[in-house]
Structure 1
Amino acid sequence: MQYPEFIHEAKAKLSVDTEQEVLDITRAFLHTLTEHLAGNAADNLGAQLPAQLLDIIREISPEDRDQGERFKLAEFYERVADKLGVDTDTATRYTQQFMQVLGPMVTHSELHKIKSTLSDDYAPLFENVTTAQDAAR
Structure 2
Amino acid sequence: MRLAEFLAQVHDRGEYRSQEEAEHVSTAALKVLGTRITAEEAEDLAAQLPAPLSDVLREGGGPAESFGCEEFLRRVAQHTGARPRTAEWDAGAVLSTVADAVSGGQVDHLLSQLPTEYAELFGRPGRS
Fold match (TM-score > 0.5): yes
Q: Which residue is equivalent to 1:134?
A: none
Give 1:128 deviation, angstroms.
Answer: 4.3
Q: Give the 3-state SS of the residue equivalent to 2:79 in structure 1.
A: helix
Between stretches 90-99 and 115-124, larger displacement belongs to 115-124
Bigger CA radius of gyration? 1
Aligned twin of 2:79: 83
Deviations 1:6-41 (A, max 9, x none): 122121111112222111101110011111101311
Conserved 8 A contact 1:37-1:69: yes
Gap runs ≥5 in structure 1? 130-137
**Matched-pair contact (CA < 8 Å) for 2:10–2:22:** yes
Q: Which amino acid aligns with 2:11?
A: K
**Per residue, is there more helix in 1 or in 2?**
1
| Corresponding position: 1:72 with 2:68 | yes
Correspondent of 2:102 among 102, 106, 122: 106
Cα deviation per residue 1:42-61 (whole Å; 9 max; x = unaligned)? Answer: 11101001122112223x2x
Would you say how many aligned residue pairs link Structure 1 and Structure 2?
125
Matched, 1:122 2:118: yes
Say whether the 8 Å CA contact 2:96–2:121 is kept in structure 1.
Answer: no
Q: Which runs of 4+ in 1 moved over 6 A?
A: none
